[in-house]
Amino acid sequence: MPFRMLELLKTEIWAAAPSALDALASALRHSAAVPSSQTPDPEPFTRSGGIALLPVTGTLSPDYGYAGAFAPLRTGYKGLRDQFDLAMEDPGIHTLLLCFNSPGGTVQGCKELVDHMASAKTASGKRVVGYVDGACMSAAMWLSAVCDEVAAPATALVGSIGILQVHADWSRFNEKTGITFSYLSAGSFKALPNTDSPLNDTGRAYVQERLDRMYGIFTESYASLRGLSPENIRATDGRIYLAEDGLKEGLVDRITPGLEPFMAALREENMDVNKLKAEHPALYAQIKAEGGDAVRAELAPTISAAGEDILSMVAMVAGPEASGKIRTLQGLGLKADQIKAMADAGLLALGGTGGAGAQGGQWNAPAGQGNGQGHPAGSQPSGQANAQTPAPATGPTAAEILAALQAATPSGVAAGGQPAGAAAQPGGWPDFLALVEGHMAAKACSKGEAMREMQAKYPEAHKAYILGLQKGGAA
């Protein structure tokens, strides 16, 4: 008889369903299971593409599990840790999939493994997910808390979050066989309780206090890793749930018809970025643009505050008028090279505070364009300032700025609605970004939205833009 397993059953504190202990006791009577005498080399895990499958099966034990056809202790915490670390260190693995079919196991070693796995996951950045292939209960549930997501078919069993210890009273059997056991100890709790005496109130309270504390550690750890309330977890009160009910309790994240469909979903969700860029460049560019928009939105308050500080300094040094004009340019999102291009084309006079013509940052509408107030360029109604009068702090409209920018851009939009030269010269793909920036300024929309609008309106320009990306151009 495997005496180590017998000692586990008699003395260990368990995070397992009671049926697991019944199965273990039955196996003890028949099994030739033998624990490994030395630390085994970790067996190669099953690999499916970039996914490592790690089985968590049977009643969980502290060491490396037990061998033997009838041995229920198939997974040991130390052995699982070795497998987990091996997968974490493998550069070809991006996701670790824990496949659960376990009623739970010993408390000893479980929290230590959970903490190690959570720390390793954070350090590596790899994804850890779980699939319930039958049952995931008690200590197995504790291990599942490390997973970013737990999936299960509708008929799987989950839960049984609690602590259990068995006290066997052999005193009446001993009496019938004529055997008397006497426990000699120093310390009143040293031999309390024991299997050769009935469990008295003192012994019961002594054991229960330890179980309650262990239960608190279990539920606090599980709730913290799952982002749930410890009170809600304790409210499950050791119940076993079908997966669909476990979903409502927060113990499961997804109901799936089976392991293969779940793995197919994982492969789709974990498409390699380089593969996405190579095979779907337009989608990659769109995702990249929208990601940049999200980052900019997050940083906008900080950037705005810094900009206000700079504008305040400009107002103190150069006056409020200059500060107002800079604020107009800043609000329209124009870049320095665009402003310079407009100045070079005579559409914007930079520097100075007065003088003939357009001075002090005065805007000049391009030929054939209005002056932004419903009048031809170079004219104004009686009583209004002439072209030598500095522009008001509010500055020109967005339409005026875009018209001036278009006139200042050599590869502006040509007749027919396509950027000039875009179809004829693939190298002209940056013209598409000019259209995007103009649309963003005119519509005050995100870059991702502007890209979609311009792609629909100017397909040839977008095609040239994608060709430029594929040839190594920089967006």
State the pLDDT at residue 274.
54
What is the model's pLDDT at position 172? Answer: 94
Return the H-helix or E-strand segment holding 106: strand 104-106
Nearest 5°: phi and psi at 57?
-125, 155
In this structure, what token pair is assigned to residue 136?
Answer: 């995931």
Q: How far apart are CA 387 and CA 372, in angstroms?
A: 13
What pLDDT is recorded for position 309?
75
User: Rounded to the nearest 10 degrees, what angle do helices 18-30 and 3-11 cross at?
Assistant: 150
> Which residues, 6 or more positions from 433, have their beta carbon under 8 angstroms from its beta carbon?
465, 475
pLDDT of residue 470: 63
Per the CATH hierarchy, to which homologous superfamily does domain 3-269 belong? 2-enoyl-CoA Hydratase; Chain A, domain 1 (3.90.226.10)
Distance between CA atoms of residues 202 and 206, nearest Å: 6
Give the Cα-Cα-Cα angle 356, 359, 365 (nearest 5 degrees): 100
Q: State the residue for tokens 């079919």.
A: 101
CA–CA distance, 102 with 72 (Å, rounded to integer): 10
Question: pLDDT truncated to tens, each residue of the chain (475 aa)?
Answer: 344 444 555 555 645 555 554 555 555 554 544 454 445 555 568 999 899 999 999 999 888 765 444 444 468 999 999 999 999 999 999 999 999 999 999 999 999 999 999 999 999 999 999 999 999 999 999 999 999 999 999 999 999 999 999 899 999 999 999 999 999 999 999 999 999 999 999 999 999 999 999 999 999 999 999 999 999 999 999 999 999 999 999 999 999 999 999 999 998 887 665 566 666 777 767 777 777 677 667 777 777 777 777 777 777 777 787 777 777 766 666 667 767 766 765 656 655 444 333 344 455 544 444 444 434 444 444 444 443 434 443 444 555 555 555 555 544 444 334 444 433 333 444 577 888 888 888 888 888 888 888 888 888 888 887 777 666 544 4
> What are the CA-CA distances from residue 162 to residues 13, 135, 238 (Å)?
11, 15, 5
Q: Read off the pLDDT of residues 251-276 as tens digits, 9 standing for 90 and up.
A: 999 999 999 999 999 988 876 655 66
Is-contact 148 128, C-beta < 8 A? yes
Write down the pLDDT at residue 412: 43
Nearest-angstrom CA–CA distance, 194 and 49: 52
Residue 18: predicted pLDDT:
52
Phi-psi region of 171 (alpha: psi -120 to 50; beta: other; left: phi over 0): alpha
What is the pLDDT, as a whole number, of residue 182? 92
The pLDDT score that the predictor gives to residue 422 is 39
- Closest to 362 (Cα-Cα) out of 341, 391, 339, 386: 391
CB 15 within 8 A of CB 138: yes
Q: How far apart are the first and last CA of the chain?
A: 71
Torsion sign (Cα): 81, 87, 90, 94: negative
The interaxial angle of helices 110-124 and 201-226, nearest 10 deg, is 10
Q: What are the tokens at 132?
A: 């319930």
Supply 364's token pair.
């000049």
Enumerate the H helices of 280-335 as residue ranges. Answer: 281-318, 320-331
Tell me the domain boundaries of the chain. 3-269
Phi, psi of 448 (to 5 degrees): -60, -45
Angle at 164 between CA 160 and CA 169, to 5 degrees: 145
Cis peptide before 230 (omega within 30 of 0): no
| Dihedral, CA of residue 329, residue 332, residue 333 and residue 335, to nearest 10 | -40
Per-residue burial over 179-218, b if 16 or more Cβ lie within 10 Å, else e, is eeeeeeeeeeeebbbbebbebeeebeeebeeebeebbeeb
Of 333, 61, 353, 112, nearest to 218 (Cα)?
112
The pLDDT, as a whole number, for residue 450 is 83
Burial of 41 (0-12, 13-18, 19+ CB in 10 A): exposed
Tell me the Ramachandran region of residue 159: left when phi exceeds 0, alpha when psi lies from -120 to 50, beta otherwise: left
Q: In angstroms, what CA-CA distances link 189 with 13, 194, 206, 237?
A: 17, 10, 8, 29
